[in-house]
Homo-oligomer: A and B are copies of this chain.
Amino acid sequence: MDKEETKMKRKYLMTPGPSPVPSFAREALSREIIHHRTPEFRQILNEVNEGLKCVFCTKNPVLIFASSGTGAMQAAVNNFFSLGDKVVAVCGGKFGERWRDIAKSFGLDVVEMEVEWGAAPAIEDLRKILDANKDVKGVFTTLCETSTATVYDIEAIGRVTKEKNLLLIVDAISGLGQDKLFPDEWAVDVVVCGSQKGFMLPPGLSFLSLSRKAQDFMKNSNLPKYYFDLNKALKSYEKEDTPYTPAVSLIVGLREVMSEISKEGIEKRWERFKMMANAAGEAARALGLEIFSKRPSASLTAIISPPGIKSSDIVKTLRKEYGVSIAAGQDSIKDKIFRIAHMGWINEQDLIMCFSLLEKVLKDLGYKFKIGASISRLQEVFYG
């Protein structure tokens, strides 16, 4: 019998989305369905709307869509600009490139700011691009570029875009909840997120916050829209409703996870995940490995595979032999790095479990290091 087939083989999800869904959220997903145009659901929606403001650290409305995160990214493209408008897309990984591609699909004039994969954008380079392109109306960038495990300095980017009165739109899909973000203080106009990472839910919901400035931009956009029409969504939001049938069960689950996030406190969570990221980096170095990112995110860690070992082989073996799912690289760095998530429900003990099996796999693949080195390092960082 194939090992995969028995349920006795435990599985561990350490991928940067979907990330594990805790049992208290899964219980909520399995409750009897309720109608969305009832006082009962309105009450849930109200709580969720308030909770989202806390988790997003914003006073702005946060809209909810039934879609993956990419749906909300599209909404952030075709609601604020018009055909031919010039925008900058910061491209230092797969998700920055997604901004570029969506913006091009909708006929925007996209200035691509190329950033070396693994690096964060240099603020002086962004300033140069904006000085050379006085007609730019907005900047699209990323909080945590998941493909390289890099966190961008949104605060610094926000200073530049605010000074030039541009719309700043940030994909925080994998970063939100782990990587520090103060949208209002940092002049971020639009923050996009999804349900399956820091929010600890299955995929299927996306979120989008709207500053006052973003709401003004919305009024002048002439790009075609319907399902992701933010004017319509905002109007429904103000009436404590949704324009189309919402993904009721996921929203019921959302209430549960947000209540638990609030209990821990968002800033405490930021600290905890930053500590986990530091620990993962230290653990990698204890094995003689290097981390890929020059500005590591608190949400996941990308480790460069040892010479002669393809990262996809590490990933495959971990999953097949030990039930542990991590992620390889994407596109040109597919076989160069492997990525371990520490987001949402993933905790310190999961990292210890993951590195203990990573050591086993590295050893079996012929890499030389001192067994237990990463675990001792994690223990030191976590438990002092």
Contacts and interface: CB of A to CB of B under 8 A. Distances in A.
A33 B201 CA distance: 9
A204 B247 contact: yes
Contact of A66 (B68, B225, B228, B245): B68
Contacts of A106: 224, 226
A278 interface: no
A209 interface: no
A74 B4 CA distance: 40
Contacts of A194: 245
Interface string A55-92: 00000000001111111011001100000000000000
Q: How many copies does the complex hold?
A: 2
A20 interface: yes
Nearest to A205: B204
Contact of A21 (B11, B13, B32, B229): B32
Interface string A99-136: 00110011100000000000000000000000000000
A156 interface: no
A33 B4 contact: no
Contacts of A73: 227
A248 B202 contact: yes
Given A74-B227, A106-B226, A38 B204 contact: no
Contacts of A68: 66, 227, 244-247
Interface string A14-40: 010111110000110111111110111
Contacts of A4: 39-40
B245 A17 contact: yes
A74 B32 contact: no
Contact of A13 (B20, B33, B70): B33
Interface in A224-253: 224-229, 244-250
22 contacts: A4-B39, A11-B32, A18-B33, A18-B248, A26-B29, A33-B196, A38-B325, A66-B66, A66-B68, A66-B204, A67-B227, A68-B245, A70-B226, A102-B226, A105-B224, A105-B229, A194-B245, A202-B250, A203-B248, A204-B247, A204-B248, A247-B250
Interface of A: 4, 11, 13, 15, 17-21, 26-27, 29-36, 38-40, 65-71, 73-74, 77-78, 101-102, 105-107, 194, 196, 202-204, 223-229, 244-250, 319, 325
The 10 closest A-B pairs by CB, nearest first: A30-B30, A204-B247, A202-B249, A26-B30, A68-B244, A70-B244, A203-B245, A68-B245, A105-B226, A74-B227
